[in-house]
Amino acid sequence: MPARRRTHPSLPDLPQDLEIGYAIARLGRLLARDAARSVARDVGLNLAEWRLLLVVDDARDRQFDSLADLALLEKSHASLASRALLGRKLIEQRPDPADRRRVLLRRLPGGRALVDRYLRGSAESRRGLWAVLTTREAAAMRAGLFKLLDRIERNPPAEHAADSAGPRPGESPIGARPARRAAGLVRAARPRSPRSRS
């Protein structure tokens, strides 16, 4: 009998593809928790404010909606964060000339200085965190995550259809049943016409 695959002690016993997704979600939660503590202590921002400030551009205006998405924030949370940053004069906003219902944001010099100060001060801590990975492991992890992001953003999981054909040549056995419906290889079921009643 083959040896049972051992999972990480902080993860439930799941199929490998689900386990990886769960591990990514847990890692993200732990990183967010530590970042929230750090930015609150060092620069007096909450995590939503920090994430929004980090993605606002210095050199050009950016639409609020796209920035909220980049900052991983719901619009309501991004709106609260932007008001706080405006109040501290870390960013500025103006109406979008192309559509005055939209708002454009830009980071002010004080916001840039705060970001630079925090990144310099936390650099050693961040290096220590990722030092558990070799350069090759870190590069492979980055490449794999980017592939997954690209796949899921192009073809959301809800649109994926199971495929019993197994892995194709060169394809990883992890999640090897590709989304054939998303790729157009599986036809959508035709709706049944209602039966006529006699």
Gyration radius (Cα) of the chain, Å: 23
- Say what the pLDDT of residue 6 is: 66
Residues 61 and 121 in one domain: yes
Look-up: residue for tokens 């016409």? 193
Indicate yes or no: pTM above 0.85.
no
Decide: 104 and 65 in contact? Cβ < 8 Å.
no
Q: Tell me, what's the pLDDT at 132?
A: 93
pLDDT at 5: 59
Residue 7 is predicted with a pLDDT of 74
Which among 62, 56, 126 has a CA at the least distance from the CA of 90?
56
pLDDT beneath 50: ranges in the chain: 1-3, 161-198
- What is the structure's pLDDT at 145? 94
Identify whether residues 104 and 93 lie together within a single domain. yes
Q: Residue 20 is part of which domain span?
A: 16-132
In this prediction, residue 191 carries a pLDDT of 43
Q: Please choose, from the candidates 145, 154, 140, 151, the residue with its C-alpha nearest in 3D space to the C-alpha of residue 31.
A: 145
The encoded tokens of residue 72 equal 């991983």
Answer whether residue 8 is part of any domain: no
